[in-house]
Amino acid sequence: MTGALRRDPKALEARLREIPPEPGVYLMRDAQGDILYIGKAKKLRTRVRSYFRESQPHAPRIALMIQQVNEIEFIVTDTESEALALEANLIKQHQPHFNILLKDDKRYPYVCITWSETYPRLFITRRRRPQSAQDRYYGPYVDSQSLRRTLQLIKRIFPLRQRPQPLFKNRPCLNYDLGRCPGVCQGLITPEEYRQTLAQVAMIFQGRSQELSQRLEREMTAAAANLEFERAARLRDQLQALQSLHRDQKVSLPKDTVSQDVVALARDEERCAIQLFQIRAGRLVGRLGYFSASLGAETGAILQRVLEAHYQQVEDLEIPAEILAQAPLPEGDWLADWLSGRRGRKVTMTTPQRAGKLELVEMAERNARYELERARRQTERQERDLEDLAGLLGMETWPKRIEGYDISHFQGAEAVASQVVFIDGAPAKQHYRRYKIKTPAVRPGHSDDFASLAEVMERRFREGKGGENSEDFPDLLMIDGGKGQLSAVVKVLEALDLLDSLTVVSLAKQREEIFRPGAKEPLAADPEQPAVQLLRRVRDEAHRFALGFHRQRRLNQSRRSRLEEIPGLGFERQKKLLAHFHSLDYIGAASLEQLQAVEGIGPQLAAAIYRYFHP
């Protein structure tokens, strides 16, 4: 079939009749054979047919997917649990574009452990993009400050890799001497031993702190019995610090052995805010937050898919003994059987009706309402700002994509430019871009913001014109500056025949004046009105991004400039010195022997470097 199934009702009906009413997994493919979506169903024919009913409301994401479906494949299984497990494996393997039920709030961070690396790293990230199936993500965590404090304490409790890259080539840094790092960069600990330490850290984020405390206590007792007093003391310190980690926990239940997950949501016409509370050993150890579309789905069905998506991403040891849900799940028994099989022990699914457990569900629901209200206020503010901006600039529709540009330099030295992107009134940092200014007229002592902006516009839009970036052209282009900067940009856009298709403005700093091409006077606008406030946010973000890049380049240049004062030290050897020591301070503190250990640095040059830092 060359067209989408929906365009050929006879072919669609024939294909739907071929699908059996049994449990299994279905795969939807486009005309190129790529997998669009993978799902599971108790009755395959009924579930797949529901996508193509005209009366069935769908979220925009699903409606777009249906338009692209060209073929439907299915795999029949014996039980619903097998279908759920198979769906999870296929999604991990193929990662279809439309398999995104939950949209995590970009404010929420994750903890990542890169088990795919020989010496795994532990860090906080806001992007959940696994580079390998072995890497593990925990979260997203709602309280980012608490998460950072927890990670800082963990790095004091356990000797862990502290830097993504080694500071020195042939010796460990100060963290090793302080006992904060086991000397990963120099291989002073085997990968197996290091992974054992990190496995203990993973237990904390799995909600198994109580189990870890018991293990450390047993090891401490055994070490003391074997007269290994130094190791016993280290384990004692780890145990005490671990116990203090949850000492200030706000939620504590009478049953200190209970292991539960509590899930509830709050919803409006467009979205759902979901809160999942993780309670381990009677204490609240994690609060995870998600958003989901709420169109045409019952509360129980949404919670069902939320829990399925959540537990597909966690390890078997993280599955609790009991799950408390706000509403009955349509396939709760099926989910409980699947989780019980993974956990190796019974998992119960409950919708509480009495005090105690019901209070936990109500607490999760109350937090979900707060998150939904926060998201609603943020959306209303963005819509208000965009509507006001469209009215101010005379645009027929709201500017979906806004690009802001700024130039940063120091008297012409290390000149750079920034491109920031706001989508629907919010920063979209994945689309940010930085430019190094290459115009010969811009050099130390000679700055030219007009020429710099012209170069950036030329590079940005000539590269994208008619190419792969043409779909990312902005609805609104904002330049930091006055009429002069705007004129330089307009000339480039006219030469590229793009001025008529783009709305361009500039925002001057002193009086927050907005200029349009060809206008002598600025637009009549109140500096405090929503449209101007939005443009100021774009301008300030562009300035921040450009300034950060400029400072980074100046720092690198200052390092090179000081080394250039040393006779006989050329550019290549400067790079080798910095690559070896990573810092001017460490070069200055190095001995003659350490300097000579760098490739290309002989005794005479090492002595010259040493004399420069020790006059």
At residue 207, the pLDDT reads: 67
Shared-domain flag, residues 435 and 499: yes
Question: For 466-570, where are the alpha helices, taking DSSP H only?
Answer: 483-495, 530-564
Give pLDDT tens digits for 492-550.
999 888 888 889 999 987 778 899 998 888 888 888 899 999 999 999 999 999 998 88
Tracing tokens 């599971």 back to the chain, one arrives at 40
pLDDT > 80? residue 571: no
- Residue 228 inside a domain? The answer is no
Dig out the tokens for 357 from the structure: 């457990």
Domain of 28, CATH number, reads 3.40.1440.10
Domain of 368, CATH number, reads 3.30.420
Shared-domain flag, residues 369 and 457: no
Shared-domain flag, residues 542 and 600: no
Give pLDDT tens digits for 311-326.
887 778 788 889 999 9
At residue 245, the pLDDT reads: 54
- Residue 596 inside a domain? The answer is yes
Q: Which residue has the higher pLDDT, 436 or 102?
A: 436
Shared-domain flag, residues 437 and 330: no
State the pLDDT confidence band at 404, using cuts at 50, 70 and 90.
very high
Shared-domain flag, residues 536 and 584: no
Domain of 587, CATH number, reads 1.10.150.20
- Residue 602 inside a domain? The answer is yes
- Residue 142 inside a domain? The answer is no
Range of the domain at 305: 259-373
Average pLDDT on 417-429 reads 91
C-alpha 124/C-alpha 106 separation (Å) is 13
State the pLDDT confidence band at 140, using cuts at 50, 70 and 90.
low
Shared-domain flag, residues 321 and 457: no
- Residue 205 inside a domain? The answer is no
Shared-domain flag, residues 542 and 586: no
At residue 463, the pLDDT reads: 62
Percent of the chain with pLDDT over 70: 87
Most confident of 12-26, 72-86, 174-188, 290-304: 12-26
- Residue 479 inside a domain? The answer is yes
- Residue 283 inside a domain? The answer is yes
pLDDT > 90? residue 482: no
Whether the full predicted model's pTM is greater than 0.85, yes or no, is no
pLDDT > 80? residue 241: no
Average pLDDT on 433-443 reads 87
Shared-domain flag, residues 481 and 521: yes
At residue 248, the pLDDT reads: 45
Which of 94, 129, 159 corresponds to the end of one domain?
94
Shared-domain flag, residues 416 and 523: yes
C-alpha 286/C-alpha 277 separation (Å) is 6
C-alpha 457/C-alpha 451 separation (Å) is 10
Dihedrals φ, ψ of 234, to 5°?
A: -65, -40
- Helix and strand totals (H; E) in the chain: 19, 18
Tracing tokens 């780890």 back to the chain, one arrives at 238
Average pLDDT on 599-611 reads 87
Average pLDDT on 427-435 reads 89
C-alpha 139/C-alpha 289 separation (Å) is 8
Number of domains present in the structure of the chain: 4
Average pLDDT on 567-588 reads 79
Question: What distances in angstroms separate CA 306 from CA 69, 263, 303, one per listed residue?
Answer: 24, 9, 5
Average pLDDT on 289-309 reads 83
Whole-number mean pLDDT of the chain? 82
Most confident of 80-84, 162-166, 559-563: 80-84
Domain of 420, CATH number, reads 3.30.420.340
Shared-domain flag, residues 523 and 583: no
Shared-domain flag, residues 355 and 435: no
